[in-house]
Amino acid sequence: MRYLGGKSRLMRHIGPILQSEIDKNGICEYIEPFVGGCGSMDRIRCGRRVGLDGNPYLITFWEELLSGYVPPDCISEDEYNNYKRKIKRGDFSTDRLEAAAIGFAGIACAFSGSWYAGYSKADGRNRCAEAKRAVLKQLDKLSEVEFIYADYKKSHEYLTRRAVIYLDPPYATVPNLYQGSNIKYDPKEFWEYALFLSTLGHIVYVSEYTSPDDPRIACVWSKDVKVCAHQISTKKRVERLYKVNGVAYN
């Protein structure tokens, strides 16, 4: 499922780095505190996999999908806008299937997979049906993932042993894009938390365009990418993967 900021297209580069850390260190737990559209989670093999997100609708969608929920082939613009108004009112649905539909529609039917950023209809494609096919293809690879609605800063509380932690936060250039979450995101606070995780003995990786100038943070991979700026143009960025170590690199 297309998700703004998702790493599915880059996982052929990033995935082997993460998987190598799991395999060579005998790691049994893997966690993504910003699991989003699961574009990276479905590429990783590990004994226990945990996906956190601050978007309650998105987490409900993934949980219900694993329990048998089948997304619709079509969601009308009126339905989409009704869901959007419901979210703006802060009226979280207690009907889990409706909450799952809201979570699905917010990404699947939105322009560029950006949470309720506008109903995507410009090119006449059925984005809803495309997203449905995509998530159903992911399903077998996600069957044992534990999905949890939580603040990313609580990630360590859900781990029972040394883990590989892959953090794919909102970019510092657009920090308000913590999609569908009411949880405050602050880049400085985020990097402090990433360093904290590493001091607990976890193996910590971060996807970002930039990082603080800190000897404990090292860029281990980078690639030029094109990102969608709006409906008619793109911008070039350098996507980077950083390894975080509570002890300064030599």
> Using one digit for the tens of pLDDT, what is the confidence trace for 51-107?
999 999 999 999 999 999 999 999 999 999 999 999 888 877 789 999 999 999 999
Other Cβ atoms less than 10 A from the Cβ of 196: the count is 15
* Res 173: pLDDT: 64
Dihedral angle computed from the Cα positions of residues 227, 185, 11 and 142, in that order, rounded to the nearest 10 degrees: -130
How would residue 171 be classed by pLDDT, with cut points 50, 70 and 90? confident
* Res 62: pLDDT: 96
Residue 125, pLDDT above cutoff 90: no
* Res 1: pLDDT: 63
Residue with tokens 């090292």: 218
In the predicted model, what is the mean pLDDT of residues 12-30?
A: 97
Helices (H) and strands (E) in the chain, counts: 6, 7
Q: What is the mean pLDDT of the chain?
A: 89
* Res 232: pLDDT: 46
Closest CA to 228 of 236, 220, 239: 236
In the predicted model, what is the mean pLDDT of residues 155-159?
A: 98
* Res 175: pLDDT: 46
* Res 228: pLDDT: 59
Closest CA to 34 of 55, 13, 18: 55
* Res 226: pLDDT: 75
Does residue 68 come out as left (phi exceeding 0), alpha (psi in the -120 to 50 range) or beta?
A: left
In the predicted model, what is the mean pLDDT of residues 162-167?
A: 98
**Whole-prediction pTM value?**
0.91
* CA dist., res. 36 & res. 55, Å (int): 8
% the chain with pLDDT above 70? 89
Contact 204, 156 (CB under 8 A): no
Residue 185, pLDDT above cutoff 90: no
* Res 140: pLDDT: 94
How would residue 139 be classed by pLDDT, with cut points 50, 70 and 90? very high
The 10s digit of each residue's pLDDT in 190-204 is 999 999 999 999 999
* Res 237: pLDDT: 86
Contact 183, 88 (CB under 8 A): no
In the predicted model, what is the mean pLDDT of residues 219-234?
A: 72
The set of residues, in sequence order, having a beta carbon less than 8 Å from that of 230 and lying 6+ positions away, is none
Cα-trace Rg, the chain: 18
Query: Domain 8-244 sits in which CATH superfamily?
Result: Vaccinia Virus protein VP39 (3.40.50.150)
Residue 209, pLDDT above cutoff 80: yes
What ranges do the domains of the chain cover?
8-244
- Tokens of residue 246, six digits: 């509570």
Residue type, 73: D
